[in-house]
């Protein structure tokens, strides 16, 4: 079995269709279909069950998926070890993160690290928090940066902290000079918030409930970055973590204001890696740089064996 066939097979197993795998891999659907057919002929079995909602691995397909994960991970590890003979000169670092980290923080750390090690390549994928943990656990990403959910058992947590949400507004907003605002102050202005399935919204609504108030947003979006143009061009406010807008705040394009509440506006954040997986030298060095850029924490394990 060739690694190309296994990679195509895993993409179909993850996405549930040849068309979706084609888009993810940027490979023609006919080529993926041909590789799947070759694997089924070689193994003399059906690897997928065709269902109305997509392609699901058969029992034989589930076994092959486990084997393929190990084969591809080992092949990648061998390539990395060979590259590391030349130091931090070549290599690929795969980062998966939720949107709050992808807007500013992670790309900024990547840019700084690239200046130091221009031969390294980066792959940044934005996913919902739970999916970040899933791809890290499966070895499909080297590092995950996400907001903490209920359980992170499948991965190793190398950094953990809590961050406070702040209000964000335009420099000419009436509240721009305020050292701090109260939660009810938000009701006097158009408010932009993420959708109800996000940690921002859950924490915000819990804080409103604790104070016995209800604040309906004018703009709700499942794309966090779309809230920023709204506050730039209106008298509106948005809620998010400070590191999400660190660069525009430093440039004076946006103003951040602390919000005082009776209950906490804190959210937990984590940096995750695959459990029991030795990290390549380049990944470990980048991990240290990433943790250094995050808020201070009582749990900073990534600095061990730093480069």
1-15 average pLDDT score: 85
Q: In whole angstroms, what is the distance from residue 158 CA to residue 143 CA?
A: 10
Residue 304 has pLDDT above 60, yes or no: no
Residue 305 has pLDDT above 60, yes or no: no
Q: What pLDDT is attached to residue 306?
A: 41
Residue 171 has pLDDT above 90, yes or no: yes
DSSP 137: H
With bands split at pLDDT 50, 70 and 90, how would you rate the model's confidence at 194?
very high
Burial 151-185 (b: 16+ CB within 10 A, else e): ebeebbbbbbbebebbbbbbeebebeeeeebebeb
Task: With beta carbons less than 8 A apart as the criterion, state whether 302 and 157 touch.
Answer: no
164-191 average pLDDT score: 93
User: What count of other Cβ atoms lies within 10 Å of the Cβ of residue 259?
Assistant: 20
Q: What pLDDT is attached to residue 111?
A: 96
Residue 107 has pLDDT above 70, yes or no: yes
What does the pLDDT look like over 156-166, one tens digit per residue?
999 999 888 99
265-277 average pLDDT score: 89
Residue 54 has pLDDT above 80, yes or no: yes
The DSSP-derived string for 17-52 is SHHHHHHHHT--HHHHHHHHHHHHHHHTS--EEEET
Q: What pLDDT is attached to residue 271?
A: 95
* Residues shown for the chain: 307
Average pLDDT, the chain: 86
Highest mean pLDDT pick, 2-6, 42-46, 230-234: 230-234
192-199 average pLDDT score: 89
Question: What percent of the chain has a predicted confidence (pLDDT) above 70?
Answer: 90
Q: What pLDDT is attached to residue 295?
A: 79
């Amino acid at each position: 079995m060739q690694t190309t066939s296994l990679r195509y097979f895993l993409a179909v197993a993850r996405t549930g269709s040849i068309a979706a795998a084609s888009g993810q891999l940027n490979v023609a659907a006919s080529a993926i279909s041909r590789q799947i057919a070759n694997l089924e002929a070689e193994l003399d079995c059906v690897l997928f069950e065709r269902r109305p909602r997509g392609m699901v691995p058969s029992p034989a397909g589930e076994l092959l998926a486990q084997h393929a994960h190990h084969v591809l991970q080992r092949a990648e590890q061998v390539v990395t070890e060979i590259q590391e003979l030349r130091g931090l000169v070549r290599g690929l670092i795969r980062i998966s993160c939720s949107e709050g980290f992808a807007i500013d923080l992670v790309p900024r750390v990547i840019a700084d690290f690239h200046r130091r090690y221009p031969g390294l390549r980066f792959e940044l994928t934005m996913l919902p928090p739970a999916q970040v943990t899933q791809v890290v656990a499966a070895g499909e990403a080297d590092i995950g940066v996400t907001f903490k959910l209920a359980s992170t058992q499948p991965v190793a947590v190398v950094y953990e902290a809590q961050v406070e949400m702040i209000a964000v507004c335009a420099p000419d907003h009436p509240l721009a000079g305020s050292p701090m605002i109260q939660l009810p102050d938000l009701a006097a202005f158009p408010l932009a918030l993420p959708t109800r399935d996000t940690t921002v919204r859950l924490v915000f609504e819990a804080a409103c409930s604790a104070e016995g108030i209800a604040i309906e947003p004018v703009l709700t979006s499942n794309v966090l970055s779309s809230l920023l143009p709204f506050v730039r061009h209106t008298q509106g406010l948005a809620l998010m973590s400070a590191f999400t807008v660190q660069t525009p705040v430093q440039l004076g394009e946006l103003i951040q204001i602390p919000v005082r509440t009776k209950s906490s506006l804190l959210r937990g954040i984590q940096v995750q890696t695959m459990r029991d997986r030795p990290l390549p030298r380049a990944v470990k060095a980048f991990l240290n740089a990433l943790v250094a850029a995050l808020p201070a924490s009582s749990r900073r394990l990534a600095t061990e064996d730093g480069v």
